[in-house]
Structure 1
């Protein structure tokens, strides 16, 4: 292909060539529907209206790591592969069934550790090791690790299809057991402002954020935000993962943030699950324009269906907010003297949204009011127990930059100025 394209461009320098690699089924569908005139693909059954001509034949090759025991053999027989971990083509590939027939006839069993659609990806997995390739692929989003006791000889099965539908990134596949963590650091640069929507068909998934923890089994659907720290694990996961860019869901962003890391339930969620399952069966047959239109429709469907019933939200909110309140309270008490102790800073340090923080402190008059009262009570305790420090020094020690601000706040809280309070306590002490 590179030689053909280079030759064509030399003869036609004013033409721009675009090379898109599709599955054989997709190529045959494009020709059958009249969307293109000629396609290059493997033979495919079920397209009687398409004329085909054999262009070339190739020999099968076995791709091996450099240190493999079979590396020196010029030809490899089925018996040589007995017990070997194998990275196979996808089940729909015609040569996959022929290869399996050869193994069956030779009564040879192998261990399939991965099923990958494209040969380039299969070669990369062999060269680097299955898990290392997956780890590298996911490194910009999450840190992944194999399950405890996992060794290279056991392989690492990952088979998935990803399709960018403009407003939604649709991924379907099977993923071996693994754990992962996302820790957002300032050095990471531009944030990854998307949600992951999971639709579990089989296996299990566990996720934990600062606010919530879930255990999802078959049939579950839930959202995770990549704008938050989280950790989790999956066990032999089979299902869907949809990437939802925040810009495509700006009108319902607060709603989606509110239901992150909660098992989604209800009739609308079941309707959404049915829709996504159906979409999966059609996605490889769509044209580019159809994918864009389906992406917009899918985004609208998700926005309409992902709703948590108000009763369930209220049931969950009490437990969530009590945990948030305690974490924030401990942080506040250990940083009361910091001048820049603000709600924004607390939310940032605890990796929670400001709205979640505000809700957790609603019953005590808000975050800022809580901080102010804690500072005033600490300053009051020191004021009446210590006569050696000036009022201004005490104010500064408890997070007040200006003594005048401290005096006004103190008078509103206790009805007298700091000096009057100190004098009152002196008189009481003298009288006693």
Structure 2
């Protein structure tokens, strides 16, 4: 987990993703809740009752560290959690923890001793200042948590300590975008490179801060974070439907129900949405030509949504200055890397 507010959030990632996994199922039947308490005890205390210890308990967590950023994907049964002033005085953890519940929720969140400071109702998203005390009941859930350095929170929220204990439901377009973005991150982070994961975690943090800023009536600009998440949403749809012959800018508009001007602006720097779709198809085609020498060019063309092998050959030649058959021959002869895209073709965006 990242710690103090001295983190340079704009610093480039210097190393890869550090991943760890823990599952209490590997423990003896009478030990899982105590094993879980030991596992998360460096961050927050689990407060089991005697009856809790007698019940079955399931929990697992995956933690991904990228530079000074951290993201966890946790599934667990219900438990009572507390981060006390005593605990806070003994450690240096001062990040802001944004919890996004994909399943289940959290309730009875108390950030002060007085009952009037308890959050009412269950929440889909919760933010905690790890430098302040909290006590809460986390119900059986799957929760994704982003640990955000204080310096980033201060950039987007003028009084970040006031974030502590704030909750919200997934009821707005912005929170819906957040849930979709973090869900995609949880599904794909294991296969991401460090720089891509770093960018995705940063975008998630910016979206979450923007949502709470909007809830608080602040005038912060969430456009850049929202644009990155929306771009990711469109890109995932295109990649999932790349082999569909009917895939087109119009079909993307209809499927995702996005405003036409917004969608076109997103891909303006790619030469347009149609050019972006064609580019991804051609990159995939080049990969398949090299990897599957026994698959015919025609089969590859139709498999990627081209209407004919001649249309595919013309598009491939325009992009790479050679015919598909010539590219395959080069790749088979000497392990040739993918040819460089011509300058008038859009470059693929990662992340």
Q: Which structure has more RCO (C-alpha within 8 Å, separation ≥ 6)? A: 2
After TM superposition, the score normalised by the length of structure 1 is 0.40
After TM superposition, the score normalised by the length of structure 2 is 0.48
